[in-house]
Structure 1
Amino acid sequence: YKELTWERLLAGARDTVRATATIMFIVSAAAIFAWVLTVEQVPAQMSGLLLGFSQNPVVLLLLANVMLLVVGMFMESIAAIMVMTPLLVPPLMEAGVDPVHLGIVVVLNLMIGLLTPPVGMSLYLVSIISNVPFARMARVIWPFLVPLLVSLLIVTLVPSISTWLPDLMFRK
């Protein structure tokens, strides 16, 4: 109470503008990248490449994991979903992957991508808020990524983990 001065208010506003500007720069760069990929029809080309590589749903899901992790490292999640959904959904649905399972795999991959350098938007945000340099934050995140990657692999290889509740609720 009565601790908020004009100086503190302005300092808070400056910090907010700085954090927001950093995040918006990353989001805008990702949106431009997504637009370029869409204009060049990369998703359509990659879809054909995936189906030509394998019809096995496990192999396709593992390839999707690699692609989503790489894309998630460089793009903001919404832009990545906009780019990768047309690329991944048709071949994976044709291979028999459950849409709920695919959605959970996509979300897990992109969540891990938000934490992974070189872009790692969540890392940037946390480093700005905590006043810890991004390079230091990027070094200390690696031990936390290992259990996330193991969890992703388990969810990818055991679809019933992600589909048992929807199956229980909506299917007879």
Structure 2
Amino acid sequence: MAGSERGGRSRSPLFRGRAFSLAELLAVLAICLVLGGGMSLAVVSSFAGPASDTTAVREGKYAAQWLQRIFHKALLSGRSFVFRLSTSVPQNRLKIQWADGREETYDGKGRVWFTNHSGVPAFCAYSPKWNTISPAFTIEAGSSPDRRRPLKYIVVTPFCRVSYRDDPPRD
């Protein structure tokens, strides 16, 4: 009752004499806005549907560069690997399996879909002794697993040269 006799309000002991400065409030608000904006972008991009053709072309180029780095790594380390890709089911990952059992994967994250261009399933083996892959292969890069029209082609020659083309190689 001492507080009410002096004309003041009684405060909870938790908040007695403490307040937030304007700078602290603005900092918390800025952090909340940044986190909220990031979450909203993630939600919108996940519900936006299939990737645009431009995004798929860019991701396909990154996949071709990844394959070239794999060949370079295999040559420098002297390790062999196996590469497999389905002819019938589009996949959003490219996967190689090293001779020691470890795997490396390029994940297109739904932005690009890969299909084997040839009619036979690809089971390609890399030989570090000769720096060759057998058989050579071509990968179709598309923007959707449903739409089977390839946008670009990743062409790998028997001598491990990777190119990214508009047209498939002539047989």
TM-score when normalising by structure 1: 0.24
> Which is bigger in relative contact order (C-alpha 8 A, separation at least 6)?
1
TM-score (norm 2): 0.24
Normalized per residue, the structure richer in helix is: 1
Structure showing greater radius of gyration is 2
Q: Which has the higher strand share?
A: 2
